[in-house]
């Protein structure tokens, strides 16, 4: 829980710092791009699907579902393009085991991502009806996944301590890749995200989808 609060505080400071910095900037056009900043906000649903590529867990399938709030700061912008810093703060529901062997059903995932955006939703002033994005970042989470190697040793060890699963489970953390497309809906944009988390667990990948709406009203400086 302390770790969650620490990450939450960092997220709030991130938003506050860049929001204040954006208010202090003046728009200065330089060719096709200008060094302005603006905040955008999205809200939606998330599905997370961990999968194992080899071993006795290969046929296992777990899914986690939840809600996501995403603040995004556009740093470098053109007419229909931007480079942004984004947070996807998700609260997930689904059973998992923590390091103490306890069954939990609520978890969080927070990827920090740098995205290149184009077309619809790239900026508040974008005029395209369709668009997309591609980005890379790193994800933090308290959702623990089974480590096949450690879990196999647990099953074959009659003296194993079931209250200490530190070697059996690992957090769903690692490098994060996402891509998707956007389309105009009312004053904002609908978003379909596909993402993958490259966890530190051998022969394991985590895939996911987000369906979000980016609000058209926002702050531009």
Residue-level pLDDT at 165: 65
Residue-level pLDDT at 202: 82
Residue-level pLDDT at 103: 85
Can you tell me the mean pLDDT for 166-188?
Answer: 89
- Evaluate whether the domain defined by 2-23+35-220 bears CATH number 3.30.710.10: no
Segment 28-62, tens digit of pLDDT: 444 455 556 789 999 999 999 998 887 667 777 78
C-alpha 189: how far from chain center: 18
Under the banding of pLDDT at 50, 70 and 90, the label for residue 16 is: low
Residue-level pLDDT at 13: 57
Give me the residue spans of the domains in the chain.
Answer: 2-23+35-220
Under the banding of pLDDT at 50, 70 and 90, the label for residue 163 is: low
Residue-level pLDDT at 219: 39
Nearest to 48 by CA among 37, 57, 29, 61: 61
Can you tell me the mean pLDDT for 173-181?
Answer: 96
Segment 106-161, tens digit of pLDDT: 999 999 999 999 999 998 888 889 999 999 999 999 999 887 766 555 555 555 55
- Average pLDDT of the chain to the nearest whole number: 81
3 has a pLDDT exceeding 70: no
Q: What whole-number distance in Å separates Cα of residue 59 and Cα of residue 109?
A: 24
Under the banding of pLDDT at 50, 70 and 90, the label for residue 211 is: very high
Can you tell me the mean pLDDT for 210-219?
Answer: 77
Flag the least confident range among 55-64, 98-107, 184-193. 55-64
Can you tell me the mean pLDDT for 57-78?
Answer: 88
Q: b or e along 56-92 (b: 16 or more beta carbons within 10 Å of the residue's beta carbon)?
A: ebeeeebebebebebbbbbbebbebbbbbbbbbbbeb
24 has a pLDDT exceeding 80: no
CB count in 10 Å sphere of residue 189: 26
Per the listing, tokens 């709406």 go with 213
Residue 29 CA: distances (Å) to CA of 26, 39, 97, 120, 164: 10, 18, 52, 21, 58
């Amino acid at each position: 829980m302390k770790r969650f609060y620490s990450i939450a505080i960092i997220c709030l400071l991130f938003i506050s710092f860049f929001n204040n910095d954006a208010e202090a900037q003046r728009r200065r056009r330089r060719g096709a791009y200008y060094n302005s900043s603006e905040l955008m906000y999205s809200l939606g649903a998330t599905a997370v699907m961990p999968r194992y590529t080899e071993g006795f867990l290969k046929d296992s399938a777990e899914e986690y579902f939840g809600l996501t709030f995403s603040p995004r700061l556009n740093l470098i912008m053109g007419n229909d393009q931007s480079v942004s810093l984004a947070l996807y703060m998700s609260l997930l529901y689904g059973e998992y085991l923590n390091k103490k062997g306890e069954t939990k059903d609520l978890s969080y995932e927070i990827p920090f991502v740098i995205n290149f955006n184009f077309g619809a939703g790239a900026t508040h002033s974008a005029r395209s009806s369709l668009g997309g994005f591609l980005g890379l970042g790193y994800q933090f989470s308290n959702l623990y996944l089974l480590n096949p190697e450690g879990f196999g040793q647990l099953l074959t060890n009659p003296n194993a301590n079931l209250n200490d699963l530190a070697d059996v489970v690992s957090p769903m953390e690692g490098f994060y890749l996402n891509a998707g497309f956007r389309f105009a809906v009312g004053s904002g944009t609908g978003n379909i995200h596909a993402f993958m988390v490259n966890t530190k667990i051998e022969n394991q990948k985590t895939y996911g989808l987000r369906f979000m709406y980016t609000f058209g009203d926002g702050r531009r400086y």
